[in-house]
């Protein structure tokens, strides 16, 4: 009597194939957005978990890779928003006498890393507003079309063009400075 593959084993196999094919690219995408390797890896891992959970509803639509990219971008946004809130709270609490263990200064290692020279383009890219940075990363790193970027970021194609134009104008001006 032949045995049928359980749906979960089918999704497990499909996710494993997607993982092997797209992990490195998606981690790089996330890193370009959050600039932290471990946070980027966590964001991509979370995206794969979400994809596995939603497998039955997205596998039929044929947009699994697009779902993964969108999940990575959204997770990066969420992590950045959370980091801002935590940082704001830590700054507010740091001056309190009843906040043991809270350092008011960065560690020596963090200071040394912050002082290290970075590549000029990455610095300029980092200074861009988040949406402009997302558009450029998706356009030039992920090689997505304007329509795909619009779908991934849930904005109009015209907004994609506007964000790309503003970002490229800013980058050109930054790179032309002596």
Regarding whether 91 and 37 lie in a shared domain, the answer is: yes
- Shortest CA distance to 24 belongs to which of 49, 5, 44, 39? 44
Regarding whether 9 and 95 lie in a shared domain, the answer is: yes
Regarding whether 92 and 8 lie in a shared domain, the answer is: yes
Read off the pLDDT of residues 56-71 as tens digits, 9 standing for 90 and up.
888 776 788 999 999 9
Distance CA 5, CA 12 (A): 11
Domain annotation covers residue 105: no
Judge contact between 139 and 153, C-beta under 8 A: no
Q: Taking the mean position of all CA atoms in its chain, how far away is CA 170?
A: 21
Domain annotation covers residue 176: yes
Instruction: Please give the full DSSP string across 43-79, using - where no structure is assigned.
Output: HHHHHHHHHHHTHHHHTTTT-HHHHHHHHHHHHHHHH
Domain hosting 170: range is 117-178
Read off the pLDDT of residues 47-104 as tens digits, 9 standing for 90 and up.
999 999 988 888 776 788 999 999 999 999 999 999 889 888 877 776 665 555 545 5
The CATH number covering residue 16 comes to: 1.10.1740
Number of domains comprising the chain: 2
Regarding whether 140 and 89 lie in a shared domain, the answer is: no
Indicate whether this model's pTM tops 0.95: no
- Shortest CA distance to 51 belongs to which of 38, 37, 64? 64
Domain annotation covers residue 112: no
Regarding whether 56 and 134 lie in a shared domain, the answer is: no
Regarding whether 129 and 62 lie in a shared domain, the answer is: no
Instruction: Using the structure block, give the residue that is written with the tokens 């790179």.
Output: 175
Distance CA 59, CA 147 (A): 21
Regarding whether 161 and 93 lie in a shared domain, the answer is: no
Six token digits for residue 147 = 């329509």
Regarding whether 87 and 158 lie in a shared domain, the answer is: no
């Amino acid at each position: 009597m032949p045995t049928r593959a359980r749906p979960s084993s089918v999704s497990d196999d499909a996710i494993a194939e997607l993982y092997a094919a797209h992990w490195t690219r998606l981690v790089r995408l996330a890193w370009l957005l959050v600039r932290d390797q471990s946070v980027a890896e966590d964001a991509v891992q979370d995206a794969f978990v979400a994809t596995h959970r939603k497998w039955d509803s997205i596998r039929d639509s044929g947009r699994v890779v697009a779902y993964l990219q969108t999940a990575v971008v959204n997770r990066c946004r969420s992590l950045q928003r959370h980091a801002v809130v935590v940082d704001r709270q830590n700054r507010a609490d740091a001056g309190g006498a009843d906040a043991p263990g809270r350092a008011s200064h960065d560690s020596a290692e963090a200071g040394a890393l912050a002082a290290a020279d970075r590549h000029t383009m990455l610095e300029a890219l980092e200074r861009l507003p988040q949406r402009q940075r997302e558009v450029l990363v998706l356009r030039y790193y992920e090689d997505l079309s304007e329509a795909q970027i619009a779908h991934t970021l849930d904005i109009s194609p015209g907004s994609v063009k506007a964000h790309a134009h503003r970002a490229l104008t800013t980058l050109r001006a930054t790179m032309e400075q002596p």
